[in-house]
Structure formats: structure tokens, C-alpha cells
Structure 1
Amino acid sequence: MIKIGHRGAKGHLAENTLESIKKALKLGVDGIEIDVHRCASGQLVVFHDFTLDRMTNGTGEVSKQTLKQLKQVEVKGHCQIPTLSEVLTFVNNKCLVNIELKGQDTAKEASRLIDFFVEKKGWDYNNILVSSFQKDLLETVHKINDKIPLSVLTNANIEEAVGFAKTIHAVSLHVDYTMLTQEIVDDLKQDFKVITYTVNNLNPIKRIKSYGVDGIISDFPDRL
């Protein structure tokens, strides 16, 4: 079972920052999960929300700001919003990077960057996983480069997620842990790897591990 730090090590340091990712690596994760949006100047930035208000001293929509503007915003804990390129450079193929496509128009640039890091920087496709709740974004990545491993996120209808995952040849399903039973995990594992999120407390961690899932995403990867 692989241990994946949620937005780096969200339970320890400001989510989706290089500091949080560095902490996750120190805690010995097998992978990190991050979120991306496309900013007004075209770059993919690593940030969860569609707006700046919750996590920064700024305000407004992430997609409406240029990278220069976003770099001037301070994330809680005196951190900066990183780009996807900066994160991949920092991780340097040391662990799995699960890139969740959050914002619209992220699929093409994510595909381009992944291809660049595999072709030019020695990355392995096995250390990349692109996930999303948004079907159109996953379909676009699949059409551009079917070597990029994909995962379908679901927190509602597992059956529907399975049907869609088969059409894009996804390698895994990311399922809300509250939806999982032993029977569901056994059934899903016939066709996919099962990665579950976001499991933070010790009793649920113990229960979910007993089901034999392939990976757990947690704010506290040190608890896994």
C-alpha cells in the first residue's frame, strides 16, 4: 500500500506549497497529491481552491491572476504559490506525483509539462498520476497522450466512475473512504487500483488498510 501526502503534508504545513511537499518527503511518503489551476498568463499553479481567500492574504479567482500577481500573494505560513513545473523540478522523480486537475483548461498544459519532464528530465510515467472529478479534462489528457496514467475521482457514484474509467483506460479509482467496504474494494480491484482519500484518523486508517486498498491519501501521511 502506498502512502500519499494530501496536498503535500497538509496536516503539518500550508497545503500545496513546496514547504509542505518537502515535509511530506521527509515523512517518507511514496507519493504526494497536489491540485492545479491555469492562471491568466497560462502557467499551471499548484493551489486547491478556485479563489485565493481561504489560504492567502489575497482575494479573487486564481484563473484571473497572472503568475506574477500570484507570486506576490502570501500563502499562510509565509509561503508562496508554486507552479507545477517548480513542484516537478523539486520532487525530481523521487516519488509519485498525483496531479489533480481542478481548474478548467488544465489538461493540455499538464500533458505538455508531463511529456517535457519525461522526455527531457528523466521522469518515469509510473511516477505520474493525473486525476480529476471532471471527465472532460481526463478525456483530453487521454486523447493527447495515452501513456499518462489516469485516475477517476468519485465521491458519489462508484458504478458511474467505473464505467467512465474503462473508457479512458484509467489505472485507478480515487474513492472517498467513507464509501468503501471490503466487498467494494474487492470488486474494484478486479479492474483497477483502489486509492482512497482523505483518511486522517487512526481508527478509519486501520479499517481502510484492512480492506487491502492500493493507496491512502492523508493529511497526516506519518500516521499511515
Structure 2
Amino acid sequence: MFSLRARYASPGRTVVTAHRGFSGQYPENTLLAFSKAYELGVDVLEFDVRESADGGLVVIHDATLDRTTTGTGRVDQHPLATLKRLNASCWEGPHDRGRRLPVPSGEAEIPALEEVLSAFAGKVGLNIQVYADRKEALDTIVRLYLHYDLRASGFLMLRTFAEAERVRALSPDVALCVGEDRVNLERHLSFGVDYVQPTRQCLTEPFVLRLQETGIPANVFYANDRDIMAELMARKIPGIMTDIPDVLLDLIHSI
């Protein structure tokens, strides 16, 4: 069984998170992008979960379909069956400097959450960014997290501490990370999160020193430049999220 905490505890290791899979080269948040990242040997797959109009859970980042798929409008205004018929290969390149393609690059679908869990649970770390608002959706996500026994290998990334409280009330066995107030590390530590995901702008010297003192698993969002990756590694940042995990892994192996 894969242990993400063991990866973080390994001395000198930089934990590599593939942002929306190997999204710099393959359609983001698709089974293809996740499979290619897994084949590279990344430690963690990061992906986003939203709710369909009929309560299905799908893996897509944007609230709307227009950027990455052949559909239009809000994700939560379409039933699951409609979403599954769309082509999700309409964006090329990293999220911060890619482009919308005039025609899809392949045949990738929007995956259902359970498709991703079924394919990768227990094999690689899973960083699950939750964009679902309804209580029923959170209930289902927690149920699937427990069913696939993700405590050792995955965590839920919630937008707010209030959402994290709701998940904690559903089950204390869900590993948590929170996106709110990322610069305030002490707030995260006092809440009792299992992971932190600071932006690069958070990484003042006192912040980094406190990370190192506590040993809490930290995953920086994000680095899509080799020089920035090297700088983060030199500062002994525990983990780095990137759209181009091949570049980060090559850098790690070259040192």
C-alpha cells in the first residue's frame, strides 16, 4: 500500500505532485494525463472534483465547460451522462500558459471521480481538490475516500476551514488540507490539518523555517519553471506541484 506520509518522511526527498496529472503535455484532469504522470513515477496526482446536475461527481477544474471541453455552460447544470459524452481534450499546455485548441487533440473524456479512484487508489498519492458545495456531495466524497482506504495515500483539499470542519464531522479518518488563509501557517497547524499547500508567495524565511520545525507535509503550488523548481529544492521545500513533472523529475535525478 502506497504511503504518502512515508514519501514525505524520506530524508532529502522532494515529493512530486502532478497538477491535474501530466497536464503540461496531456489533456488536464483526464485518465490519460493521470496515467502518463503515474508512468513517469510521480508521488502524487492532484485533481479537482465537481458535482453534476444530478449529483454525480466528476473530475474537472473549471466551474464551466468552455475552456477544456466541447461543452458549454456550468458543469453543475448538466447531468452526468451529458458530461461523459463531451470531449475533454480542448486545452493544450500548462494551465498558466496553454491555449484553447480549435479542435480537440484526442478522445479524452471527463472522468467520474470513482473512475480515478478505482484506477489509482493505493498506487500513488491523491490530492483531491473539492469544489462541491452540497452536503450530499461531501457525504459521497467522504464515503468514497473511506471505501478506497485513502487515509495513508490521499487527502482532501477543502476551500475553507468551515468545509474542513464539515468533513471532519463526517469522519475523523479523512486527511485534510485547507486552501483558506494559506499564509497563516499557525492557523493551519492549530486546526490540525494533515497537509499544507502554500503558494510560492507564502514562502518567507520564517514560514519555511516553521515548516521545517514542524515537519508537516507541505506541497507548494506551483512551479512550471526549472529554475524556480531548483530554487525551491535548494530551500528544502518538501514538495512541489507542477504541470510538467517530467522536468521536475529530471532535475531531481540530475542532482
TM-score, normalised via structure 1 length: 0.90
Q: Distance in 2 between matches of 1:171 and 1:145?
A: 14
- Native 8 Å contact 2:49 2:61 kept in 1: yes
Pick closer, same or farther for the CA change 1:162–1:61 going to 2, 3 Å. Answer: farther
Q: How does 1:77-88 map to 2 (within 5 A)?
A: 77=105, 78-88=107-117
1:149 and 1:210 map into 2 onto residues whose CA distance is: 28
Q: Which residue of 2 aligns with 1:184?
A: 207
Q: Which runs of 5+ in 1 are unaligned?
A: 119-123
Within the alignment, does 1:29 sit opposite 2:53 as a pair?
no
Separation in 2, partners of 1:103, 1:38:
6
Cα deviations across residues 122-168 of structure 1 (Å, max 9, x unaligned)?
xx4111111122333222111111111111225x6512x5415522x
Matched residue SS, 2:193: coil
| Secondary structure of 1:188 counterpart | helix
Q: CA, structure 1 residues 104+7, in 2 after alignment: closer, same or farther (shift >3 Å)?
A: same
Q: 1-side partners of 2:57 and 2:117: how far apart?
A: 12
From the superposition, tell whether residues 137 and 165 of structure 1 become closer, same or farther in structure 2 (CA, over 3 Å). farther
Distance 1:214 1:132 in 2: 20
Please show how residues 132-147 of structure 1 align to structure 2 within 5 Å: 132-147=158-173
Q: Which structure has the greater CA radius of gyration?
A: 2
Task: Note if contact 1:50-1:103 (Cα within 8 Å) is conserved in structure 2.
Answer: no
Tell me how far 1:188 sits from its aligned partner: 2.9
| Identical positions, percent | 29
Determine if the alignment matches structure 1 residue 17 to structure 2 residue 30. Answer: yes
Partner of 2:126: 97
User: What RMSD, in angstroms, separates the aligned Cα atoms of the two structures?
Assistant: 1.7
Aligned to 2:70: 57
Partner of 1:211: 235
Contact 2:19 2:45 in 1 (8 A): yes
2:179 matched to 1:153?
yes
Per the TM alignment, residue 197 of structure 1 is displaced from its structure 2 partner at its CA by: 1.0
Which blocks of at least 5 consecutive residues in structure 2 are unaligned?
A: 1-13, 90-104, 249-255
Q: Which of these residues, 103, 114, 136, is aligned with residue 145 of structure 2?
A: 114
Residues 163-196 of structure 1 show CA distances to partners (whole Å, capped at 9, x for unaligned) of 15522x2112101123313431111343432210
In structure 2, give the amino acid aligned to 1:4. Answer: T
User: SS of the counterpart of 2:48?
Assistant: strand
- Count the aligned residue pairs: 216
Q: How many Å separate the matches in 2 of 1:86 and 1:99?
A: 13
| Bigger strand share | 1
Amino acid at match of 1:20: A
Pair 1:175-2:204 in alignment: no
Contact preservation (8 Å) 2:128, 2:157: yes
- Equivalent-residue separation in structure 2 for 1:68 and 1:162 (angstroms): 43
For 1:87 and 1:209, the matched residues in 2 are separated by: 29
Aligned partners of 1:43 and 1:130: how far apart in 2? 18
